[in-house]
Amino acid sequence: MSIAGLVQVIAAFAWIGALAALGLVVFNSARGRKLGGSTALVIGVSVLAVVLSTAASGLVFIEPDERGVVISALQPAGYRTEALTPGLRWVIPFAERVQSYTISNSTYTMSGSTDEGQQEGNDSVRARTKDGQEVFIDASVIYQVDASKVVQLHIAWQDRYQNEVVRPLARGIIRDSAAQFGIEEIVSSQRLVMEEIITNELAAKLAENDLILVDFVMRDIHFSEEYAAAVEQKQVAEQQAQQAALVVEQRRQEAEQARVTAQGQADAAIIAAEGRAQATVLQAQAEAESLRLIAEALAANPDVLTFRYIDKLAPNVQVIYLPSGQQYLIPLPTATAPDVTNLVPTPTAPLTETETLP
C-alpha cells in the first residue's frame, strides 16, 4: 500500500471516530446528560479527519519509470510546465490532478500472425517494391516517451500517441522505404540498408512528436502466393543449373585428368625413346672407339691377326690338305688389304699330305 493510500485509510478511521463522537454527543444530549468534553472531542476528531482527507487527496506517489503531468486549475495555462519526478509529491486537492505517463520501453508490433500484434487479425505492412511486387512486412517498433517532454506530449496527444503516432508513422515509412528497392534486393543484399533507412527516418519523426525510438526490428518479409511460387520455381531451376554445372565440371576434370595422364605417358615414351637413342649413340661411339683401338693395335702388331685366326680354328682339326704348288687353300688374314689376284683359281694338282697340326 502506498503512503497516500495509508493516509486515506487513517482519514477514513478519523471520520468514523468523528461520527462515533458525534453520535455519543447526541445520545447524551437526548438523555439530558452533561456534554462535558464530548463537543471538543467531536470537533477535534472532525478536524483531524478533514486534514487527513485533504492530505490524502493531495499526495501522489510517482513510480521510478513514470513522470506526472499536473493539470491545475490554478495555472493560467491549465497545467504545470514541469512534470513531477519519481517520489512522493503533493498537489493542491480539488484544484489539481496528476496524469501519469510511463517512460519505460514500449513495443508496438505489426504482424501477420493474429496472436503477436496489438491489432487483431493480419496487421503486417502491405507495400509495393520498386519493381511492382507486393510484399508483406512484419515489424516491431520499440520506443519510449521522452521524459523531458512529457508535458508537451500530453498537450499534443495525451494517451493516444501509440495508435495515432507510432503506428501510422511506422507503416508509412516502411511503405516508402520498400518502394525504393526491388524485391530481390529487399530479401537479400539491401535488407539491412532498408532497415537502416527506416530506423533513421522513424527516429526523426518520433522525435518531432516527443517520443524516442529505441530500436526498429524488421521481423519478417512475406510475398504474394504468385511470387512465392515463382521464387520456388526459380530456386528449383537454379539448383538444377548448379547440378548441371557440377556434372560439367566433373566431366571437365575427368577429361583434364585423362589428358594429363596421356601427356604423362607421351612424355615418358619420349624420354624412354630419347634414352634408347642416347644409349645407341653411346654404344656406337664405344664400338667405334673399340675398333679404332683394335686398328691401332693391329697396325702396331700385324702378326696378332694371323695368330687370332689360327686360334679360332676348331680345336679338333687334325689335318689340312693343300693343293700342290700352293701353300694354303684359303688366304690367311693380313694386316693389309688382301690381294685379290691370289684368289684367281689355278689348275688343280693332286692333293698331298703336308702336315698334321697338333
| pLDDT tens by residue, 274-295 | 888 888 888 888 888 888 887 8
Residue 77 has pLDDT above 90, yes or no: no
The b/e string for 100-129 (b: 16+ C-beta within 10 A; e otherwise) is bbebeebebbbbbeeeebeeeeebbbbbeb
Same domain (yes/no): 241, 273? yes
Kindly state whether residue 21 falls inside one of the protein's structural domains: yes
Q: How confident is the model at residue 344, as a pLDDT?
A: 41
Kindly state whether residue 66 falls inside one of the protein's structural domains: yes
Residue 58: phi, psi to the nearest 5?
-95, -15
Residue 325's nearest CA partner among 356, 355, 344, 350 is 350
Q: Residues 20, 21, 27, 30: is their CA dihedral positive or negative?
A: negative
Binned at pLDDT 50, 70 and 90, residue 231 comes out as low
Same domain (yes/no): 259, 244? yes
Same domain (yes/no): 178, 241? no
Residue 354 has pLDDT above 50, yes or no: no
Kindly state whether residue 310 falls inside one of the protein's structural domains: no
Residue 236 has pLDDT above 70, yes or no: no
Kindly state whether residue 305 falls inside one of the protein's structural domains: no
Q: Which residues make Cβ contacts (< 8 Å) with residue 174, sequence separation at least 6?
A: 125, 127, 137, 139, 198
Binned at pLDDT 50, 70 and 90, residue 356 comes out as very low
Q: How far apart, in whole angstroms, are the C-alpha atoms of residue 88 and residue 2?
A: 9
Q: How confident is the model at residue 320, as a pLDDT?
A: 58
The runs of H, that is alpha helices, within the chain are 3-30, 38-58, 150-156, 161, 167-178, 183-187, 191-208, 225-300, 303-311
Q: How far apart, in whole angstroms, are the C-alpha atoms of residue 107 and residue 85?
A: 23
Binned at pLDDT 50, 70 and 90, residue 341 comes out as very low
Kindly state whether residue 265 falls inside one of the protein's structural domains: yes
Q: How confident is the model at residue 290, as a pLDDT?
A: 82
Kindly state whether residue 307 falls inside one of the protein's structural domains: no
| pLDDT tens by residue, 295-314 | 877 777 777 767 666 666 65
Residue 157 has pLDDT above 90, yes or no: yes
Residue 44 has pLDDT above 60, yes or no: yes
Q: How far apart, in whole angstroms, are the C-alpha atoms of residue 96 and residue 54?
A: 12
Same domain (yes/no): 116, 218? yes
Average pLDDT over residues 4-23: 70
Average pLDDT over residues 188-212: 94
More confident residue, 159 or 114: 159
Same domain (yes/no): 95, 145? no
Q: What is the mean pLDDT of the chain?
A: 79
Residue 236, all three cell numbers: 528449383
Q: What domain count does the chain have? A: 4
Range of the domain at 341: 315-356
In terms of C-beta density within 10 A (0-12 exposed, 13-18 middle, 19 or more buried), how is residue 139 classed? Answer: buried
Binned at pLDDT 50, 70 and 90, residue 345 comes out as very low
Does the predicted model carry a pTM greater than 0.95? no
Q: How confident is the model at residue 232, as a pLDDT?
A: 61
Inter-CA distances, 252 with 241, 245, 349, Å = 16, 10, 89
Q: How confident is the model at residue 108, as a pLDDT?
A: 95
Q: How confident is the model at residue 227, as a pLDDT?
A: 72
Q: Which residues make Cβ contacts (< 8 Å) with residue 42, sequence separation at least 6?
A: 18, 21, 22, 25
Same domain (yes/no): 285, 346? no
Query: Of the residues 72, 102, 132, which one is the last residue of a structural domain?
Result: 102
Q: How far apart, in whole angstroms, are the C-alpha atoms of residue 159 and residue 337?
A: 137
The DSSP result for 126-168, as a single string, is EEE-TTS-EEEEEEEEEEEE-GGGHHHHHHHTTT-HIIIIIHH
Same domain (yes/no): 69, 169? no
CATH number of the domain encompassing residue 176: 3.30.479.30
Q: How far apart, in whole angstroms, are the C-alpha atoms of residue 59 and residue 65?
A: 18
Kindly state whether residue 279 falls inside one of the protein's structural domains: yes
Same domain (yes/no): 88, 173? no
| pLDDT tens by residue, 159-173 | 899 999 999 999 999
Binned at pLDDT 50, 70 and 90, residue 230 comes out as low
More confident residue, 37 or 58: 58
Residue 286, all three cell numbers: 664405344
| DSSP-based three-state secondary structure for 37 | coil
Average pLDDT over residues 330-355: 45
Partners of 62 in the beta sheet? 87
Same domain (yes/no): 325, 295? no
Q: How far apart, in whole angstroms, are the C-alpha atoms of residue 157 and residue 151?
A: 10
Query: Of the residues 201, 223, 245, which one is the last residue of a structural domain?
Result: 223
Same domain (yes/no): 63, 128? no
**Cα first-last separation, the chain:** 152
Same domain (yes/no): 113, 215? yes
Query: Of the residues 102, 136, 155, which one is the last residue of a structural domain?
Result: 102
Same domain (yes/no): 115, 193? yes
Inter-CA distances, 346 with 326, 330, 349, Å = 9, 13, 9
